[in-house]
Amino acid sequence: MAENIYKILIVGGGAAGLELATYLGHKLGKAGLAEITLLDASSTHIWKPLLHEVASGTLAEAEEIEYLAQAHRNHFLFRLGRMEGLNRQEKEIYVSPTVNDQGVVLIPRRTFKYDVLVMATGSVSNTFGIKGVDQHCMFIDTTAQAFRFQKQLVETYYIKSYAGANSLKDKPLSIVIVGAGATGVELSAELHQVTRLLATYGLEDSDKVKITIIEAATQLLPALPPRLSLATQQQLVKLDISLKLGRRVIEVTENTVLTHDGEIFDADLKVWAAGIKAPDWMKNLDGLETNHINQLVVNQYLQTSDENVYAIGDCAACLWTGHKGNVPPRAQAAHQQAATVAKTILNRLKNKPPVTFVYQDYGSLVSLGKYSTVGSLMGSLMGTVSVGGFIAYMVYLSLYKMHQVAIHGYFRTAMLSLSNLFRRSTHAKIKMH
């Protein structure tokens, strides 16, 4: 491409970043009107709300998207790397060297120029500085972390199943999840299903697995109305998942989780899902304003204090008009923000004004695997409606299909859905490696 072509740089290939890159690739990249570059530290993409299924091993590997292939099909560039700094005056970002597991440098440190920069780096778990969390807990913020947890889960099952007649085998396999938001609740239900499947495959008896959720608040799923939260709680109790509400974790050790009231929970596997923040390196990004959880503060056009730098998705702190606080970090918000910034960038090239972002809340849904789906749907005509069962499940599924349509189009999404149906009939229901 020509050196002076308009450069649009998107950092982060999550739901917001990948949808934006794909859309702009078709609108601008295909015609040679702009050079769109997507930067991400991973080579593949999985829709973040599905990571709990990756962690449990129940998600088909076919759901993974190769960034390079997606870029080739949709007329944008993909570059592998992790952003480490920004120079707004020079309009460039700095990318750390990419190294392999042996420490060999695969790609040297690089600099990328931009005319428009869109930060879409997503979020990571917030440990709140609690002692031992970073050292002893597992996280499922990224695909790599989810695969790592799944691998450790299976390995722990093998150890327990073939330990022989000793105290190690007699002691239940204990899994502790800290945090009763959507991620923690959905993961617990998936893990319950996995324990049953593994037992049918001849591994550890499901009765010898104990799943515990610890939550500082007194209610599950604060994003849902109390009635739906209670319905979810009752379903988890039926699944024999132990709920410890109103318990604040104060320390995590190699084998235990300690709460503020002095109770100690044994834990073979520990998952931290108790809140989010933007990555720490963003809190000092060449003078851009951030909040207490490192999110970039943006205006109604999703611009930071620099008119050439935008932020979308979980890394953006955007006031929710007509409500207290910011737009919640949900997939539907990321989808809407990507669409808004796409229109604004097209307007910039035509010297037209930016588009105001107005968040439309369509409700919250939580899937408990094959057992249940609950949530609330919202709309201007029907107000707030509580839903459950098959209807809730189909709406939950449609959110993912909307994401797939945004990055694949209708035809490829239909073909992928059809191929997954055939695949599930011939493959194991869970990943065993």
What would the mean pLDDT of 258-262 be, rounded to a whole number? 96
Average pLDDT rounded to a whole number, residues 12-17: 93
Regarding whether 253 and 285 lie in a shared domain, the answer is: no
Max mean pLDDT among 310-319, 365-374, 400-409 falls in 310-319
Identify the residue with better confidence: 418 or 291. 291
Asked if residue 56 has pLDDT above 50, the reply is yes
Region of poorest pLDDT, from 15-24, 63-72, 216-225, 288-297 = 216-225
Domain's final residue, options 291, 325, 349: 349
Q: Which residues contact 406 (CB under 8 A, 6 or more apart)?
A: 19, 22, 23, 335, 338
User: Residue 357: pLDDT band by 50, 70, 90 thresholds?
Assistant: very high
Helix (H, G, I), strand (E, B) or coil at 433: coil
Q: Is the pLDDT of residue 211 over 90?
A: yes
Q: What value does the mean pLDDT of the chain take?
A: 84
Instruction: Tell me whether residue 391 is in a domain.
Output: yes
Comparing 350 with 409, the larger pLDDT belongs to 350
Is the confidence at residue 390, as pLDDT, over 70? no
Residues 258 and 328 in one domain: no
Residues 185 and 262 reside in one and the same domain: yes
Q: What is the pLDDT of residue 432?
A: 39
Residue 260 pLDDT exceeds 80:
yes
CA distances to 124, 140, 157, 180 from 131, rounded to whole Å, are 17, 19, 27, 20
When comparing pLDDT for 428 and 52, which is higher?
Answer: 52
Q: What is the pLDDT of residue 252?
A: 97
Average pLDDT of the residues in 261-279: 94
> What integer pLDDT is reported at residue 433 of this predicted model?
42
Say yes or no to pLDDT of 242 above 70.
Answer: yes
Please report whether residue 376 resides in a domain. yes
Average pLDDT score over residue span 253-257: 95
Do residue 282 and residue 195 come from a single domain?
no
Domain that residue 306 falls in: 7-123+278-349
First to last CA, the chain: 43
pTM: 0.85
CA distances for 230 relative to 185, 203, 224, 268, 383, angstroms: 13, 33, 10, 28, 21
Q: Does 283 score more than 60 pLDDT?
A: yes
Whole-number Å distance between alpha carbons of 17 and 37: 10
Q: Specify the pLDDT at position 408.
A: 78
For residues 336 and 376, membership in a common domain is answered with no
Residue 163 has pLDDT above 70, yes or no: no
Quick one: 224 and 162 in the same domain? Answer: yes
92, pLDDT greater than 80: yes
DSSP 85-141: EEETTTTEEEEPPEE-TT--EEE--EEEE-SEEEE----EE--TT-BTHHHH-B--S
Residues 179 and 202: their CA atoms lie apart, in Å, by 31
Please give the DSSP secondary-structure letter assigned to residue 165: S
Q: What is the pLDDT of residue 235?
A: 87
pLDDT at 330: 86
Same-domain pairing of 196 and 317: no
234 in any annotated domain: yes
Whether residues 344 and 372 fall in one domain: no
Which of the listed ranges 171-180, 182-191, 320-329, 335-344 does the model predict with the highest average pLDDT? 335-344
pLDDT at 427: 43
In a domain, 178, yes or no: yes
Is 385 part of a structural domain of the chain?
yes
Q: Does residue 354 lie in a domain region?
A: no
Highest mean pLDDT among 162-171, 260-269, 401-410, 411-420: 260-269
pLDDT at 31: 95
Domain-ending residue, one of 323, 349, 375:
349
Number of domains in the chain: 3
Mean predicted confidence (pLDDT) in 127-153: 91
Query: Is the per-residue pLDDT at 123 higher than 80?
Result: yes
Judge whether residue 7 has pLDDT over 60.
yes
Over residues 174-183, the mean pLDDT reads 92
Same domain? 151 vs 233: yes
Is the distance from CB of 24 to CB of 35 less than 8 angstroms?
no
Banded pLDDT at 207 (limits 50, 70, 90):
low
Answer whether residue 2 is part of any domain: no
- Which CB contacts under 8 angstroms, 24+ apart, belong to 134-138? 135/252, 136/252, 136/253, 136/254, 136/270, 137/178, 137/252, 137/270, 137/271, 137/272, 138/269, 138/270, 138/271, 138/272
Residue 383 one-letter amino acid: G
Last residue of one domain, picked from the residues 220, 241, 272: 272
Q: Answer whether residue 385 shows pLDDT above 80.
A: no
Domain match, 144 and 159 both: yes
Asked whether residue 356 is domain-assigned, the answer is no
Q: What is the C-alpha separation between 37 and 75, in angstroms, rounded?
A: 10
Residues 6+ apart with CB under 8 A from 379: 362, 385
pLDDT at 417 exceeding the cut of 70: no
Give the pLDDT of residue 352. 96
Q: Do 374 and 388 touch, CB atoms closer than 8 A?
A: yes
Q: Is the pLDDT of residue 22 over 90?
A: yes
Q: For position 381, what pLDDT does the model report?
A: 40
Residue 371's pLDDT is: 57
Is residue 332 very low, low, confident or very high in pLDDT (cuts 50, 70, 90)?
confident
CATH code: domain of residue 251: 3.50.50.60
State mean pLDDT over 223-248: 87
Does residue 230 share a domain with residue 156? yes
**Cα–Cα distance for residue pair 53/147, rounded to 1 Å:** 10
Judge if 333 and 370 occupy the same domain.
no
What mean pLDDT do residues 105-119 have? 96
pLDDT at residue 369 is higher than 50: yes
